[in-house]
Amino acid sequence: MGENQPLLFESFFNSISLPKLTYHWHVLLLSTFTCNVTVVFSRLISSYLFPKTYNNLQGLKKLNWDIHFVSMVHCLLIVLLSIPIFWDEELIKDKVFGYDNYAGNVYSIACGYFLWDALVSLYHVREFGIGFVLHGTCCFGVFLFAYRPFLNYYGAVFLMFEISTPFLNIHWFMDKLGLTGTLPQLINGVCLLTSFFCARIIFGFYMSYHTFQSVLQVIDQIPLFLCVVYGTANIILNCLNVYWFVKMIEALLKRFDKTGEKKHHKHHHHNDGKSIKSDGKTKKL
């Protein structure tokens, strides 16, 4: 029973080149389990705080509400937990291959959420579509490589993208609560665009360049497949962020233009009875 006794699953994680996952797999699974517990909590608190709206939702619409609730809890938690990683001395010394136990736990929480998200999306793939399955799976896979270890410092950079997610969820909840086109939703929309642009476009592109520079200095020590996976994922994600940002601006302008037209027509007694709603499953960018 000495110090050299192998830890549970240590040989397995070593065999798949994820040795540091030996110390974090239980946190990952606990995170996935906690997501399910949060769904139960959402059902309890939502039916109490918003009885008319939540209790009238049926089937997948109610699940969709719970999914957004879990997303809100996760994004707030993961952003707060990721901030200290930027000042971690061990990771600053080696931004590519450095490892820190705290960062490993933070990424385990994120991986647990992405695993839960992928599994829920897979179970309801006919209703939600394959895109959400791929999104959850890809995020889970990319962060899993942190346990080689690899890019532990820069993992926090991409978790900072979640800064815009609370405003996206609030926008969705406002639609369901009948606040579409109101001043509070407009203010939230401005916050959404601002946070998205600052976190994903400015900060995202800037740190992507720094990540590239750090990797380039030790490129001969990195397996080719890792360079391909992370390079491709980074390019696609940056392009998607620009695309989503443009689409959000267009949607916001269109929504409030139409809302203004509705109010104008109503004032002149020409209301055609139509309303603007947001249906379907809207996931975190």
Tell me the pLDDT tens digit for each residue of 44-77.
999 999 999 999 998 899 999 999 999 999 999 9
Q: Is residue 152 part of a domain?
A: yes
> Would the pLDDT of 280 be above 80?
no
Q: pLDDT digits over 190-219, tens only? A: 999 999 999 999 999 999 999 999 999 999
236: confidence class by pLDDT, cuts 50, 70, 90:
confident
Q: Is residue 270 part of a domain?
A: no
Q: Is residue 279 part of a domain?
A: no
Centroid of chain to Cα 81 = 14
**Residues 6 or more apart whose Cβ sits within 8 Å of residue 56:** none
The whole-model pTM stands at 0.84
- What pLDDT was estimated at residue 285? 41
Q: Is residue 198 part of a domain?
A: yes
For residues 112 and 27, is the Cβ–Cβ distance under 8 A? yes
- What pLDDT was estimated at residue 239? 87
What is the number of structural domains in the chain?
1
The dihedral formed by the CA atoms of 173, 179, 181 and 182, expressed in degrees to the nearest 10: -120
Q: Is residue 238 part of a domain?
A: yes
Q: Is residue 266 part of a domain?
A: no
For residues 264 and 180, is the Cβ–Cβ distance under 8 A? no
Query: Among 96-100, 182-186, 237-241, which stretch is predicted with the lowest mean pLDDT?
Result: 237-241
Length of the chain: 285
Q: Is residue 272 part of a domain?
A: no
Percent of the chain past pLDDT 90, that is, above it, reads 67
Q: Which domain holds residue 178?
A: 10-259
For residue 23, what are the CA distances in angstroms to 77, 99, 106, 147? 21, 12, 12, 9
- What pLDDT was estimated at residue 4? 66
Percent of the chain past pLDDT 70, that is, above it, reads 88
Locate 167 and state its tokens: 């405003």
Q: How far apart are CA 212 and CA 49, in angstroms?
A: 47
Q: Is residue 120 part of a domain?
A: yes
